[in-house]
Amino acid sequence: MIKMVCLFNRRPGMTIAEFKAYYEERHVPLVTGLLANWCDYRRNYRLEDAEHRAPHGDPGRSSEPLFDVMTEITYESEDLYRKTMSLLADPEIGRRVAEDEARFMDRASMRVQLVEECRS
């Protein structure tokens, strides 16, 4: 399995509620229709007014939010991951996805990593 973890922020001037609504109601259906090679597609939205402080101390950490949503996309195989990346490389599909992202995301702050998931 291959998992992509993506940290996305909303466009300046957009509320978290507006960001979430656009992502769920507009962006998810778009990318599902264009790129659905994954086995799991999760969005984890930051709780707007929640702040976590570790009881054993959290020295030097800023309370500044790092992201508005952490998206996890899991592929059953490297082949399916590569298939999705090939689709995104198509000029028409890539343009449609990028234009839609620009409507609600701060694309300059996007962070994406491939990760290995370990569970206990």
Residue with tokens 């030097």: 60
The model's pLDDT over 19-68, given as tens digits with 9 standing for 90+, comes to 999 999 999 999 999 998 999 999 999 987 766 566 666 666 666 788 99
Got the DSSP string for 5-68?
Answer: EEEE-BPTT--HHHHHHHIIIIIHHHHHHHH---SEEEEEEPPTT-----TT--TT---S-S-S
Q: Which CATH number fits domain 2-47+66-115: 3.90.228.20, 3.30.70.100, 3.90.79.10, 3.40.1190.20?
A: 3.30.70.100
How far the first Cα of the chain sits from its last, in Å, is: 17
- The structural domains of the chain, with segments of one domain joined by +, span 2-47+66-115
pTM greater than the 0.85 cutoff:
yes
